[in-house]
Structure 1
């Protein structure tokens, strides 16, 4: 079943993706404009055959920025697709209008950052397709460039210079994507994800919560938070071992991720404790949903609910209130210890 709740590292990354893309587009578009404007100011003419390519690259960057800003803080999927496509082709198009090898290599440096962006913010297969498209576009751009010169007076033919530029550029783009992009993605996942359940951990949840709160209007937004605690978890570990306890946690994580409302955040914040919350107009639906899930869940759990609007530090206040409610629920709810012969908890480690 496809998870409905926002429970993975992509939840943390989704708010940073348009920010990073905007910054990249601002920087590269400004550099492309500078490369167009500054040479005549120091007495270096712009060759007429390069004007169209440079102008097209700058225009693509401007279009991408306009689309992103029109989409607001959280642009839609279509806005991101259009902006990403524009960013992908802008630099190679500019490279097709450059006559200096060093200028083409400087553009390749910009492309390395775009390649790392692809690896960090897109699934692996899609990222590789995007990096491959970027690399292929760069190759076409350099090949179509009117000519290429080094900055030193050596007698080297244009084809050799272009070949050298391509070797360096492609190596930098692909290498940066595979090394630094993959490393960045791995570090973010490790810092934000619970290794056992693959849900967000507490750090990841707090980042996602702040982003969701800002997207819904800041501290004035209405929020409902629910703390979830597995019933008799210690007894399960004592009777069947920690492997069985881990299996219980994974089963509950998958159950909640698959049945919580779309847009709800979900994380494992420690031990047998999970947290979920909803921000905005539908937040009041969460307690009823949790009550229904608790009745139908194959894993018995208790939960405490807290809601607030307009708190200066809502997460702290919500945690405190929900923890009190959870404690009361645990006092009222004392399910029996699991029977020693319960087949569903038998694993290869304790059979």
Structure 2
């Protein structure tokens, strides 16, 4: 790998992952605002005088969530506010609805939110959030003045969780497939951005460092030239399997492209991460050179640490050649 080559489009990958999740949630909130505004307008022609008090409150809450996302890089707090607003807005309309038909329409946004949560968040947190959403919606339904059967509360739970586990899980699988390297099954360049965000967030909550180790297969081009690309693929697969098997639990293993891999870990200082890197290069079918960098998880980990680890790796290669 040539040091001067443009190989780290990682900040753009991070932006794609984060902005994609933000855009989907923002679209849901924007649709809710528009829907509730239309409902408020239509209610003016309601001769029964039921009004749209719930829709007024819901529109305000949905707009609040939309404003929370009005930034290029929303932090987890803003994201949490937006998700809360997306969950509360339909529940508010349920509390005020007097018509049974309105309660059916209020279920749809909750199902879409459950699908979004299950598709874009890790399995356990997503399921917890979906359970909370189902409980909130069912409670709001039972508090409403509409004459709905008690069985509807159970059906709401089934519908919301069913949307999450059927369509949301399918979306999660499709996203995971797009973020994985098809040859080695490790994270790809976009996937490492997604995984690094989660790893860094956990490390920041625990006041831990985060470390990046990059690995480069020595003389990989010679393997392809002499033995063919199938042999080269086998080498890459074996390297990836050994890194995955020996990396600490909870770490991130990714193929950056070509013959380069990366492992991200938390709670490791410089001495510990160097020892881990030496352990991870043992037993490979070919020589592997590594480089390390340790830093603050509150920074853009890939943008700040990956170039430092790269530079350390090239330094080690240069030292070996001179030796």
Report TM bin, short chain: 0.5 to 0.7
Cα deviations by residue, 1:279-322 (Å, 9 ceiling, x for unpaired): xxxxxxxxxx9xx9699634553479xxxxxxxxxxxxxxxxx9
In the alignment, the residues of structure 1 paired with residue 68 and residue 48 of structure 2 have an alpha-carbon distance, to the nearest angstrom, of 33
Shift of 1:182: 0.6
On the 8 A contact 2:215/2:262 being kept in 1, the answer is: yes
In the alignment, the residues of structure 2 paired with residue 11 and residue 182 of structure 1 have an alpha-carbon distance, to the nearest angstrom, of 23
Shift of 1:120: 1.6
Counterpart position of 2:297: none
- 1:26 matches 2:30: yes
Shift of 1:230: 2.1
**Secondary structure, counterpart of 2:96 in structure 1:** coil
Name which of 159, 181, 191 aligns with 2:168.
181
Structure 1 regions of 5+ residues with no counterpart?
A: 1-5, 148-157, 209-225, 259-264, 277-288, 305-321, 336-351
Counterpart position of 2:187: 200
Shift of 1:12: 6.2
Counterpart position of 1:57: 58
**Secondary structure, counterpart of 1:26 in structure 2:** helix
Normalised to the residue count of structure 1, the TM-score between the two structures is 0.57
- 1:273 matches 2:260: yes
Cα deviations by residue, 1:201-223 (Å, 9 ceiling, x for unpaired): 25646999xxxxxxxxxxxxxxx
- 1:77 matches 2:76: yes
On the 8 A contact 1:120/1:181 being kept in 2, the answer is: yes
On the 8 A contact 1:120/1:185 being kept in 2, the answer is: yes
Structure 2 regions of 5+ residues with no counterpart?
A: 1-9, 196-212, 264-269, 282-287, 292-309
Name which of 147, 153, 158 aligns with 1:171.
158
In the alignment, the residues of structure 2 paired with residue 296 and residue 110 of structure 1 have an alpha-carbon distance, to the nearest angstrom, of 47
Max radius of gyration: which structure?
1
Higher relative CO (Cα under 8 Å, sequence separation at least 6) belongs to 1
Cα deviations by residue, 1:142-188 (Å, 9 ceiling, x for unpaired): 212212xxxxxxxxxx343x64x445533321211000001110111
Counterpart position of 1:110: 109
In the alignment, the residues of structure 2 paired with residue 145 and residue 295 of structure 1 have an alpha-carbon distance, to the nearest angstrom, of 58
Aligned residue pair count: 256
The CA RMSD over aligned residues, in Å, is 4.7
In the alignment, the residues of structure 1 paired with residue 277 and residue 174 of structure 2 have an alpha-carbon distance, to the nearest angstrom, of 37
Shift of 1:15: 3.0
Shift of 1:189: 0.6
Shift of 1:248: 3.3
- 1:248 matches 2:242: yes
On the 8 A contact 1:12/1:204 being kept in 2, the answer is: no
Shift of 1:60: 1.2
In the alignment, the residues of structure 1 paired with residue 276 and residue 77 of structure 2 have an alpha-carbon distance, to the nearest angstrom, of 39
In the alignment, the residues of structure 2 paired with residue 271 and residue 206 of structure 1 have an alpha-carbon distance, to the nearest angstrom, of 18
Normalised to the residue count of structure 2, the TM-score between the two structures is 0.61
On the 8 A contact 1:109/1:172 being kept in 2, the answer is: no
Shift of 1:33: 1.9
Query: Where do residues 331-350 of structure 1 align in structure 2 (5 Å cutoff)?
Result: 333=321
**Secondary structure, counterpart of 1:193 in structure 2:** coil
On the 8 A contact 1:25/1:64 being kept in 2, the answer is: yes
In the alignment, the residues of structure 2 paired with residue 126 and residue 62 of structure 1 have an alpha-carbon distance, to the nearest angstrom, of 25
Counterpart position of 1:283: none
